[in-house]
Structure 1
Amino acid sequence: MRSGGEAPCEDDGSQEAAIPEESVIVISDDEGDVSIGLGNSVLLIEDDGEESFVREKKTLEVLDEELAITFSRKAHVMPHARYDCSTHPFSRIEQETQVPVEKNASFCDECYCYLCDKPASECSDWTTAGHCHCNAHNKSKHWKDQRDTALVGVLTMFDLDLTEIDNELKEGGNKLQLFLSELSPAYHKYLEGTLMKRDSVTPCVCTCHKDKKGNKTNNKCNNCNSNHTPVTFHNYAEVYKKVIAYLNQIDEDCPKAAAVMLLGAAKELVSHNPLPNPFTLKDRTANMRESCVILMTKIVRSLQRLLVLKEYPKTIYDKFVGFFQTFSLPPHFYSFTSSLNVIRWDHCLLTSVLAGQNLTGTRTNKGKKECLWEALTVVQCRVQRLEEEKSYRQLVRYLNAVRCSEHSSLNILKQKLCLYMCKYGDFSAAANCLLQTKGMQGSISQFFTPIFFELHLAMLRTRSCPPGNELKWTEVWEPQEGVALKRGLLLRTALRILICNNVLFHDSKCWSALVRVWCTSETLSRDGKLMALCVHEPDQVTLQAMMNMSCTILDELQRQTNVHLPEPFQKSLNGTAELVLIVQAIVRYLMTTKRPLRGMMELVAAFGMNHWALSLLLEGISPMTELLFQVMSSIKKEMYEDEPRVLALFINRGPNYVSHLIPVFLLHPREGVRSVGFDLVEILLRNITKFPWSGAVGNSLQTKVVPFIRTYMVSSVEHQKLMTNIGRLTSRS
């Protein structure tokens, strides 16, 4: 072979002279042939003269006809491990650390120490008894372990291959090593203990310290000597502080380093021995057992989060989990025995649940029943990751299948099931889960507040959700693809929730929420906002028929959920029949709820522009004089106690709303109801500068109220007062 940069030779006789001295000419088609090399770190071909060259060439030609050597010269010896030295023979022994074996202590200028990775002449332990690095070689398990320890330090405890150790793992190992060196003095101080007196913690109350007159003395009796005698106390508080400070500095954004640091700290805690104390200090961290349980809980939860939220290669993942399982846990750590048995995301049971192939979370494997049972921290982290990935369908399957020892906390996570189902457009299943949730005794609606009640109803009615993964009101909503609920199903579900939940039933805010939802459009605005809805007012005949049917439906809902809805409720496209049913349900609520009534002004405002429904409500309670008085009294009280809220309502909804609201009260035959209308007019007059459109309201009242005022008002004084107030409003136009 010619070196790459040389020109071809003219004849065979000039070939040797044409090859430069710097070239290394070695040709072999079998680089793995151990018969040519001496070891793992060096390959040598020596030139013993022309005769040797010819003899070697002939031998090689016999061995392999395709092998050709065109040039050879004495090799330049490169740096190599001592056991690969061609100058000084090396004797391999599995483990000898006391004296050099045979001529192993000899070395050439290029020999390197296998353990130290530096020239043998610079190795301080080359022939030191107990170390004897000159005997080290790569075929001995003992010396290989020693080399790995020297290269990666404390990482050797995790049984990691050198190819698996990257800079992140090395950084974690360095921090762990530093922590262990800093913790050692504090732990030794704990073991040594300090002298303390019991009365330094709890004052002695023995009567021997006082004379007959009650003055303090220094006398001591035999009963209280133990309080004043110094005893050795083992205080773990300093160790606890150092471990906590170390754990707080762990960065989980570097998952490999964090896992190494946490597992190393856990191994150190397991090795700590609890020592008895003569008495208990007020500081909980002084007690070793309690402190260690707190620390181990923090470590385990952090490790569980890392194993679920971060990505680890399978080999490293298994080694980390296996490392924790090798701990010989003392009695106060028995609760952590299986705490790190966190299954991987690609585990067959978990993947079958997420894929919808296993809805129960249980299976039989080799005759044994397996269940998807996970610690709360693991469940929370899986939920977090699935939320971040927007895998809502898989998230619902997981929450329905997983089991956890902390049932109450798991139920809190399940409270968002309806939100997740709406996120992927299964509104029918979302409505059903409000009444019956899998894995819970009852349903998620048993945890509802009025705000959550309204939020869920609004999501199902508008087929939209607030952005993000939290159940909270936002100004802009996101529409979701999916089949709309059948007409009447949502209202039937909402009423059943109120009937079954006594707390919600007697909360006026829930009824206001129910009215607001059905006075909201089923479609969002172009900018994603909820819009008000004006429901069509039925004629008197249809209205009376709907009211009669509503009473029957409400009676049935008291007994069962799946109530058949008559035809008007199934075909009422604009929701008229449903709003009539809601009004009838509110009348029943007002008849049975406790007194005094609260939140009546909010209920009035909930009807929005659907004033005919508000009139229907007032008509429904009018025959019950006492109830009507209670309702009107509540409305008037709330208007005077929170007048700014009434003003904000008028400003937000404008003159059209106010012009229709006031006549609902002024044209009522009952004087108590009309008095609310008078109060609303007076509020406008007191704050007339805030309403530039007050003149338009006056003109509207002039048209809607004045022509019929004689029909409803008996007192001329009342009539004159109203005419004067309307005139004052009209004058602003």
Structure 2
Amino acid sequence: MRSGSTEMEPRAASFTSENSVVVISDDEAESTLGNSVIFVECSEESALEEKTPEEVVDDEIAVTFSRKANVLPHARYDCTAHPFVRTEYDVSAPLERNKDVCGQCFCYLCDKLASLCPYWTTPSICHCNAHNKSKYWKAARDTSLAGVLTMFNLDLTEIDANLRQGGNYLLKFMQTLSVQYNSYLAGEQVAREDLYPCMCSCHGQNRKGVGCHKCSYHHTETTTYSYSPLHDMVSEFLTQAEQENPETAAVMFLGVAKELMLQKEPPQVSQSRDPTAMLKTSVVALMERITSDLQTILVLHNFPNNLFRKFIDFFRSLAFPPHCYSFTNRLNVLPWDDLLLTSVLMGQNVTGEQRTKKGKKEILFEALPVVQARVRRMEEEEKYRQLVRYLKAVRCNNSLPFRELKDKVPFYMCKYGAFDCAASCLLSWKSVSCCIACRITPVQFAAYLKMLRTGSVPSGNELQCQGQWIVHQGSLVKNGTLIKIAIQILYANKLLYRNPKCWSILIQTWCSKTILGENGELETFYCAEPAAVFQKNILHLSLGVLDKLKQHIHVKLPNQFFHMSCEAELILAVQAMVQMLLDHDGQQVLCSVLEIVFAFGSNLWALKLLLEGISVNEPLLFAFATAFNRELCDQKMWAQRLWIEQGPLYVSQLVSVFITHQNAVVRSAAFLILNIILENFNQYSWTSYVANYLRNRVLTVSLKLTPEEQHELKNKIAVFQKKA
């Protein structure tokens, strides 16, 4: 195109040419083509025919080139080549010229070329009359495009690929289910005698025949009905749905629920031992699975609000038969933006109760699958503070699994750094004799002690000691509090109290540093042996402290415990273990003595206190020493690895603790240790150190060794020095 003037103002062009050239105004203020450029459309017969001669439209505009526009695909009612007559509802026959089409006319209902529509002029259907200004035809189009999804009252704009996929799966399944259901209603003809034997006396006579007239009824055929094939078919479909996208799965679950609610049991159905063979019991079991999966999906997946509400409304609209009345309100799942739920999660409501405008009390009550799904989602999103608030406020009808979820509240508190609150929560009695500590396992006990002692937490959402641990900055437990809580947990939980593993964990924790090592494990810590007077004083004070802890009485540690807190708390733990061993249940701990001894690490002065404490009971001391010797022989490899790790000073002090004891059986443990070292002498490079330690600090000062023991010890010292 060209212009005779470069400063022409934009305006609508007129035309009078023979070929009816349409000149379109260039009203676009920011046109990149300039003010003098306009678009034209001509109505030539051939789309490829070009007009090359210059044609003057007016004094300022000349058309130098034009071509017929391409006709784009369009609905029949928008066709410019053939007129269309609109009516609200007419399917009897094509109206006037509505059946005439051009090459680009599409069927409004089928979304196909009109020439390919099988119902274009079919009487009583007549798709050629369809248009977008009729409610009838618009509803028909929605049904045609949405298929079975129309049952959910979805707009076409809400239907995405996932929903459509669910609809396709559901439609195929409904067709297959219908065939199987009809087969179930028809039943199967079987002989009564195949179901249960005839008990008539005539069968005992030695004659042939079907029996007398009285028992002829038992030798006829009857109709049986088994719902098991339907149950298996639905179960398989539900399994498939559980593996699909949440939106696809929701459509499949809801569609199956509707089909199950429409099924009826034939009359005179006999009882069966197989619950899946009975329609009512089978449908109830299937609905339990369906509603549980739906509750989980609605919580875990972020459905649009409209779709979320339509799914719930659809479920409520189902006609529940009497055997399924309990499922009527099963899908009343609160959305995440619900006012009551939001107030609980934000900490504005700690009770889960609120008054409505009508004065009624609204309570945050949710089904177990919903609670489990909310816990799972908040765990994945690491919203531990909100999770604690939710578990404290929500109520559930399934007490045991729900209690297991609430028992993790102290763990979640540790996850966001509230270690002091977690410690208190463990021993928070809801009743006279019930607290979370009463139900924790030995593994959980070890994990809690590790978390509260070091201020660190597992990286995952499981309460365990293994795996990666991370240090968490938060409110730590005060000095002197953790040891009281640990001992109270043992007193409250009889399973832990009788478990030797838990006592070795207690000792090991207080013989370890308060900071985790690089590998995330506890590192041993050496407490210097305090003065004998201090030990005696703390042991005396420990008796009163432990007595109050047994009675669940709040007790404040005496001031002497804070002078040398690490040593004093370790002495308190040892005294608690002594009392346990002296108790009649203490004999059970003797099945793992070696682990308890090694739990002390380098703090062998505390081990000496333990042996002195149980010395008042001669049989117990004998059993303790005997068990140690037996386990040491059975687990030599473990002992040797530990001795190589700890070094000569540890081995020397360990031998010294046993060999200086007044009981001969206890002293025998020391000689057993020396014998094991001699058996694997080449693995140790420090035997001379052990020999010198025993000669200077044991042999010359010990008055408790018998002459035979002194002679044996001298021989072993000589061998150690000679080998070195």
TM over 0.5: yes
Which position in structure 2 is the counterpart of 1:117?
Answer: 111
8 Å Cα contact 2:20/2:42 also seen in 1: no
Which position in structure 2 is the counterpart of 1:70?
Answer: none
1:413, 1:295 → 2: CA distance? 25
User: 2:135 matched to 1:144?
Assistant: no
8 Å Cα contact 2:574/2:609 also seen in 1: yes
8 Å Cα contact 1:100/1:134 also seen in 2: no
1:635, 1:420 → 2: CA distance? 39
User: 2:234 matched to 1:238?
Assistant: no
Which position in structure 2 is the counterpart of 1:500?
Answer: 492
Closer, same or farther in 2 for the Cα pair 1:79/1:723, shift >3 Å? closer
% of aligned pairs identical? 42
Aligned with residue 418 of structure 1, among 403, 410, 424: 410
Closer, same or farther in 2 for the Cα pair 1:666/1:121, shift >3 Å? closer
8 Å Cα contact 1:104/1:134 also seen in 2: no
Structure 1 residues 656-667: aligned runs within 5 Å: 656-667=649-660
User: 2:630 matched to 1:637?
Assistant: yes
Which position in structure 1 is the counterpart of 2:525?
Answer: 533
Distance apart, 1:651 and its partner CA: 4.5
8 Å Cα contact 1:198/1:279 also seen in 2: no
8 Å Cα contact 1:477/1:530 also seen in 2: no
Task: Give SS of 2:355's match.
Answer: strand
Aligned with residue 719 of structure 1, among 703, 710, 716: 710
Which position in structure 2 is the counterpart of 1:7?
Answer: 3
1:732, 1:225 → 2: CA distance? 100
**1:577-629 Cα shifts (integer Å, max 9, x gaps):** 11111111112111113346432222212111110011111112223223322
1:224, 1:508 → 2: CA distance? 70
Structure 1 residues 29-428: aligned runs within 5 Å: 80-84=74-78, 92-97=86-91, 99-100=92-93, 103=96, 106-109=99-102, 112-201=106-195, 209-211=203-205, 220=211, 228-250=219-241, 252=243, 254-276=245-267, 278-366=269-357, 367-428=359-420
Query: Which residue type is aligned with residue 299 of structure 1?
Result: I
1:223, 1:536 → 2: CA distance? 98
Closer, same or farther in 2 for the Cα pair 1:228/1:674, shift >3 Å? farther
1:419, 1:531 → 2: CA distance? 22
Unaligned stretches of 5+ residues in structure 1: 30-43, 48-72
Closer, same or farther in 2 for the Cα pair 1:502/1:331, shift >3 Å? same
Which position in structure 2 is the counterpart of 1:430?
Answer: 422
Task: Give SS of 2:23's match.
Answer: coil
**1:264-318 Cα shifts (integer Å, max 9, x gaps):** 1221121111224543445432222222222222222222221111111111111
Which position in structure 2 is the counterpart of 1:606?
Answer: 599
User: 2:558 matched to 1:563?
Assistant: no
Deviates more, 1:120-129 or 1:510-519: 120-129
User: 2:433 matched to 1:456?
Assistant: no
Query: Which residue type is aligned with residue 725 of structure 1?
Result: K
Closer, same or farther in 2 for the Cα pair 1:123/1:722, shift >3 Å? same
Which position in structure 1 is the counterpart of 2:667?
Answer: 674
Distance apart, 1:119 and its partner CA: 4.7
2:18, 2:718 → 1: CA distance? 119
Which position in structure 2 is the counterpart of 1:25?
Answer: 23
2:617, 2:510 → 1: CA distance? 26
Query: Which residue type is aligned with residue 609 of structure 1?
Result: S
Task: Give SS of 1:705's match.
Answer: helix
Which position in structure 2 is the counterpart of 1:486?
Answer: 478
Closer, same or farther in 2 for the Cα pair 1:644/1:526, shift >3 Å? closer
Normalising by structure 1, what TM-score?
0.85
Distance apart, 1:358 and its partner CA: 1.0
Which position in structure 1 is the counterpart of 2:53?
Answer: none
Normalising by structure 2, what TM-score?
0.86
Query: Which residue type is aligned with residue 241 of structure 1?
Result: D
Closer, same or farther in 2 for the Cα pair 1:725/1:335, shift >3 Å? farther
Closer, same or farther in 2 for the Cα pair 1:45/1:524, shift >3 Å? same
2:393, 2:405 → 1: CA distance? 13
Deviates more, 1:137-146 or 1:216-225: 216-225
Which position in structure 2 is the counterpart of 1:33?
Answer: none
Closer, same or farther in 2 for the Cα pair 1:546/1:16, shift >3 Å? closer
Query: Which residue type is aligned with residue 311 of structure 1?
Result: N
Task: Give SS of 2:172's match.
Answer: helix
**1:623-662 Cα shifts (integer Å, max 9, x gaps):** 3223322322332333344444434543454443222211
RMSD: 3.4
Closer, same or farther in 2 for the Cα pair 1:227/1:554, shift >3 Å? farther
Deviates more, 1:401-410 or 1:170-179: 170-179
1:221, 1:608 → 2: CA distance? 90
Task: Give SS of 1:370's match.
Answer: strand
Distance apart, 1:86 and its partner CA: 6.5
Unaligned stretches of 5+ residues in structure 2: 28-40, 45-66
Task: Give SS of 1:25's match.
Answer: strand
**1:156-194 Cα shifts (integer Å, max 9, x gaps):** 111111111222222222122222222221121112111
**1:387-433 Cα shifts (integer Å, max 9, x gaps):** 11111111111111111111110111122222211111111100011
Closer, same or farther in 2 for the Cα pair 1:501/1:198, shift >3 Å? farther
Closer, same or farther in 2 for the Cα pair 1:663/1:476, shift >3 Å? farther
